[in-house]
Structure 1
C-alpha cells in the first residue's frame, strides 16, 4: 500500500520521539529530491507547468504562418538555438536541485524537435512536394505520412533527453509523437481509404497499447513515469472511444460499461486518472439518457439522485475498509497477477 507523507507527519514523528529534531527536514528534502513529481503541488509548480505549456504551444500548434516566411535556414537556426538553450538551462537547474523546472525545460527542448527537422527537410529539399502541407502548424492538425521523420526524430531526442534529465513529464512529448506516428503510418499504408472511422479505431488501439505499457512500468521505476503514460494512453483510448458513432442504445450502453470498467481500474491501480476519464464517460452517457431516452420522465432525475447517493455511500464504505478490501482482493488474485498490478505489489 502506498503512503503519502506530509511535512506535518514528520513533525509529529519528531514530537513523538521517533525522529531526532532536524531529521524531519533532512528526510523531507531527501524525498523531494528523489521524487520531485510527488512533492506537494504548490503555486510555484503550477507556474512551472503553465510556463512550459505556454512555450510548447507557442513553438508548436500556435506557430503562425509568419514564421514560415522567415526562410528555412533562419527557422533551422532558431529552432536549434532554442533547443540548445532550453537543454542547457534545464541541465543547469537540474544540477542545482531545481528538478521540476529543469525537467520541464528538457521537455520543451524535445517539443522543438519536429520544428527543427521540418526546417531541415525543407532546407535540404527532402520534403515531398506533392503533400500539400507546407506550414508547420499542419503537423498538429492533419494526418500525413510526410510527418514520420519528424516523429521518429522526436522519439530519439526524447529518449536521449530522458537519459540526461530523467523527469517523467518528458514521456508526454514522446507519447504524443508515437500517437501521431501510429496515425501517419496507418495513413501511409491505407492512403485515401483511411477514413475517420479507421482513425478513431487506430487511436483507440494505440491508447490501449500505451496503457498496457504504462501498466508494465508502473511501480518498476524510481520515478513515476507511468503517470504521464497513463494520461497519454487515456487521451488516445478514451478520445477514440468517445468519438465513435453509435446509432444503437446497446452500443451507447456498452460505452458506459467500458467507462465503468475504467473506474474499476482506478480502484485496482489506485490511479485517479482512470476515475476522471471513466466518470466523464458515464456522465456523458447519463446526459444522453436524460436528454434523449428519458426526456419526459419525472422519475429519472430522482432515481439518478438515489444512485448517486448510493455511490457516495459505497465510496465511504470503501474508504473505511480500504486495507481489509485490499487484503481480501490480494488473497483472491494469483501471485503472478499481484506482481503485475502495481497497487498490489509488496
Structure 2
C-alpha cells in the first residue's frame, strides 16, 4: 500500500487527525522514505534514462557487435572487454557506494557483467580452446545453438553471482537468467553430441532446465522480501520461457497430449494467483488459449454447440472473478485455513 499526501488530507477532513497532524505526519514519512524512494525503480524520466542508456550499451557490446570486431583478434577483444568491465565497475562503485545512487550504480555493475561473454570469447579465440570446435564469430553466439558457447554462459553466471554478493541490485539477475536460458539450449549438443540431437531431446533439456530455474526462483522468492528488491523476476521469466516453449514438443501430438498441455497451462494460471506472479498468468493464458484454439479448429471444427459452450464458460469465469473480488478476504482466510500450519511458510505473502 502506497500513501500519498491526499490520504493524510482525507484523514484530516474526516476528523481522524487534525490538519496540523496530517502535515507533520506527511513530512515525517517523506523524510523517512526519501532515500528509499529515490533508489526505488519508478517510471520517471531519470529511471527511464538510466535503463534505456544501459540497454543501449549492453546491446552495443553484445547483439550489435559487427564482423569488423573480429579484426581485433582474440586478444584485442579480450582486453577491450576487460577495460570496459573495469571502467563500468569503478564508476558503478563510486555511484552505488559513495553517492548512494543505487540504480545508475547497479546498472553499471550489470553492464560490467554483460561484458563477460565477449571477454571469454576473446580469451577462447586467443587460446584456440573450444569444447566442440570453432563455433564461428562472436555474433553467432546470439543466433546459433552450439556447445562451444558453454563457457561464455557459465562465466557470465559466475560473474553475476559474484557481483550480487557485493551489490544487492535486482537487475543483476537479468544477465544471469539470460545466460541460464541460453545454457539450457547449448547444453543439448554437449549431452547428446554436436549433430546427433533431435528437437525432442532439445525440448527435454529445456524443460528440466526451465523447471530447475523456476524452483530456484521460488526459493529466492521465499527467502528475500520483495520490498528489498525483486530478485526472482528474471529467473521466473527465463525459466518459464525455457519450460513453456518446450511443452508442445514433448508429446506425440495426440489429444491426450494436448489435454495435458492445456492442464499444465491452467496450473500456471493458478500458480500466478498463489505466488502473486503475473508472468505465470501471461504464459498460462496464452497456453490455455492455444489449447482452446486447437479444440475449435481441430476437435470441434464442425460443431455448432462448441462456440456456445465456450461463451458460457467465459461468462462463468467472469462471474467467478466477480465473486472472488467481492469476497476476497473471506476466501483468502478460508484458503489459509485449509493449509497446514507447517506449510504456510511455503507461500509467498504480499510484502
Q: TM-score range by the shorter chain?
A: 0.7 to 0.9
Alignment of 1:70-109 (within 5 A): 70-95=72-97, 96-109=99-112
Q: Paired residue for 2:200? A: 197
Which of 213, 217, 232 is the equivalent residue of 1:214? 217
Partner of 1:124: 127
Please report the TM-score for the alignment, with normalisation by the length of structure 1. 0.87
Matches of 1:213 and 1:43, distance apart in 2: 33
Structure 1's 250 and 133: CA in aligned 2 closer, same or farther, altered over 3 A?
Answer: same
Q: Which has the higher contact order (CA 8 A, sep 6+)?
A: 1
Equivalent of 2:171 in 166, 169, 172: 169
Tell me the residue number matched to 1:26. 31
Match of 1:180 among 182, 185, 193: 182
**Distance (Å, rounded) in 2 between the aligned partners of 1:245 and 1:181:** 23
Question: Does 2:305 correspond to 1:330?
Answer: no
Q: Which moved further from structure 2: 185-194 or 150-159?
A: 185-194
The C-alpha deviation readout for 1:245-285, integer Å capped at 9, x for no partner, is 64212211211110110011111111111111111111122
In 2, are the aligned partners of 1:55 and 1:108 still within 8 Å (CA)? yes
Checking the alignment, whether the CA contact within 8 Å between 1:114 and 1:153 is kept in structure 2 is: yes
Give yes or no for contact 1:147–1:184 (8 Å, CA) kept in 2. yes
In 1, the alpha carbon distance for the partners of 2:230 and 2:192 equals 37
Distance change >3 Å, CA 123–CA 97, structure 1 → 2: same
**Larger Rg, first or second structure (1 or 2):** 2
| CA 1:182–1:11: 2 relative to 1, 3 Å | same
- Aligned partner (choices 274, 278, 282) of residue 272 of structure 1: 278
**Aligned with residue 340 of structure 1, among 343, 346, 351:** 346
Q: In 1, distance between residues paired with 2:163 and 2:89?
A: 8
Distance 1:157 1:41, change over 3 A: same
Q: CA deviation at 1:47?
A: 4.2
Matched residue SS, 2:223:
coil
Question: Structure 1 pair 43/288, CA: closer, same or farther in 2 (3 Å)?
Answer: farther
Aligned residue number for residue 4 of structure 2:
7
Contact 1:14/1:21 (8 A) holds in 2: no
Cα 1:182–1:315 change in 2 (3 A) is same
Tell me how far apart the structure 2 counterparts of residues 6 and 104 of structure 1 sit (CA, whole Å). Answer: 28
- The answer to whether the 8 Å contact 1:83/1:109 transfers is yes
Q: Is the 8 A contact 1:14 1:20 kept in 2?
A: no
Offset of residue 202 of structure 1? 0.9
CA contact (8 A) 2:221 2:348 kept: yes
Alignment match, 2:63: 61
Q: 1:340 to 1:55 in 2, by over 3 A?
A: same
Q: Deviations over 1:191-233 (max 9, x none)?
A: 1432221111111111111111111121422332122221121
Structure 1: runs of 5+ lacking an equivalent: none
Mapped partners of 2:144, 2:67: distance in 1: 16
**RMSD across aligned positions (CA):** 2.7
